[in-house]
Amino acid sequence: MTPWQEIFVAITLVIGTLLTLVAGIGLVRFPDVFCRMHAAGKAGTLGMSFVILAVIIALFGTSESVTIAGLLAIFFQFLTTPAATHVLAHACYVTDYPLAASTAMDELEEYIPSQPDAVFGQE
């Protein structure tokens, strides 16, 4: 591996580690489940992607399967994490999971019924 590759791998590992750390801090510090999911969904996805990218760069040229698997892992990370956090947030909202006390307004109140029976058709 060339010195430039080592520097690039080190930079992407540091960025990925810091973003993952930010996601972890957000999970602990944010007041409600909606803010926590935002931290885990955004920073966690980017952090893992940077770490996987560092592995791809470090092992580039040694094995094509590592490169393909790494790129697929990044692709599926970006494909599944936003959808999963959206579904979890929607489920928490319709089951009346409490919002943080600092929440100023609820913009979904007029669009999404807050009773799970009305959403799932069990009236």
- What was the pLDDT predicted at 50? 96
Four-CA torsion 96, 98, 100, 105, nearest 10 degrees: 30
Nearest to 38 by CA among 97, 73, 86: 86
Structure tokens at 106: 């609820």
Q: Can you tell me the distance from the alpha carbon of 30 to that of 96, in angstroms, rounded to the nearest whole number?
A: 18
Q: 30: how many CB neighbours lie within 10 A of its CB?
A: 16
The per-residue pLDDT string of the chain (123 residues; one tens digit each, 9 = 90 and over) reads 789 999 999 999 999 999 999 999 998 998 888 888 888 888 889 999 999 999 999 998 788 899 999 999 999 999 998 888 888 888 888 888 888 888 777 777 777 765 555 555 554
The model carries a pTM of 0.78
